[in-house]
Structure 1
């Protein structure tokens, strides 16, 4: 290539990068979305469950604390934490509900995943087909778990695999007022 052609190409690439960075920065600074933080009010939603029922956060949260567990079938930490959640859930869940929110996978994938587990999960599996709830709660890595207390306030949020102690802590926090 000629020296002038290389110079023009370099300048074009540098200008393109600067423009892209500027546009990205502008969108980030002017966006009115914010991440749901601990202490914020929960965002209501309605989703269909795997068994065809409808589940609405505000209906459940009017009487119970809620633990939202965002997960995917491909997620190994999700697979590893679910049996512990199920065992703790079966110890008694009169004051709270666990909702496992699957992030935009089809029912066949979910059913294959569930059938590969050693035990049946007893808490509801909600289908976030369009990722509306995932986006509303600004969920990034999976698993992400959010505890909402009986007053509808987000009291904890973890973006990693929960230990048994973490799950008990989520239960305790979600049942507080």
Structure 2
């Protein structure tokens, strides 16, 4: 029954948006199923060899709403050199419609991961939302901050430069 529910949930999620995915664990290690171009991949596969910006947010976070324009601006400037993942922390599957509406309302361009069980938050020790984590191409944390997306340009430029070296 549980696997049937999971299959139905994943089917529903993939029908919402091609940029909307769900975080799960598998055999004790972190594994994040992604529906990208119809293929299932993991967070490790997505970020392997590419610098990434992780933005942890929730629908009811007023500070997150204020950060969305800055996130979209950074995406516009750096999406060719930096992987953007917007990780939603809402823990209620009933909020999927709210999340979809939020993505549309704020024109969120980053790939969205739904993490209702907070696996990624635990893994990255996220204290709350919004939290921004910048990873280098090796997957190491370069910067971890509570919000302040508009102040990350220098660190992003350095990560991109290191990527090209």
TM-score scaled by length of structure 2? 0.67
Residue 52 of structure 2 is aligned to residue 66 of structure 1: yes
Partner of 1:171: 156
| Alignment-derived partner of residue 37 in structure 1 | none
Pick the structure with more strand per residue: 2
Does residue 126 (structure 1) correspond to residue 113 (structure 2)? The answer is yes
**Unaligned ranges ≥5, structure 1:** 1-42
Tell me the residue number matched to 2:143.
156
Q: Tell me by how many angstroms 1:56 deviates.
A: 2.2
Instruction: Give, in angstroms, the shift of residue 75 of structure 1.
Output: 0.8
* Structure 2 CA distance for partners of 1:103 and 1:170, relative to 1, 3 Å: farther
2:105 alignment partner, one of 116, 128, 139: 116
CA RMSD across the alignment: 2.6
Measured against aligned partners, the alpha-carbon deviations of 1:142-164 in whole angstroms (never above 9, x if no partner) come to: 101111101111111002x2142
Q: Which sections of structure 2, spanning at least 5 residues, go unmatched?
A: 1-28
Find the aligned partners of 1:163 and 1:147 in 2 and give their Cα distance. Answer: 10
Deviations 1:95-114 (A, max 9, x none): 21110000134311212323
**Higher Rg:** 1
Number of matched pairs: 131
Contact 2:86 2:110 survives alignment (8 Å): yes
Secondary structure in structure 2 of the residue aligned to 1:146:
strand
3-state DSSP of counterpart to 1:63: coil
Note the C-alpha offset of 1:165: 2.6
Displacement, 1:170?
4.2
Distance 2:157 2:59 in 1: 27
TM-score (normalised: structure 1): 0.63
Partners of 1:52 and 1:102 in 2: CA distance = 21
Shift in Å, 1:48: 4.4
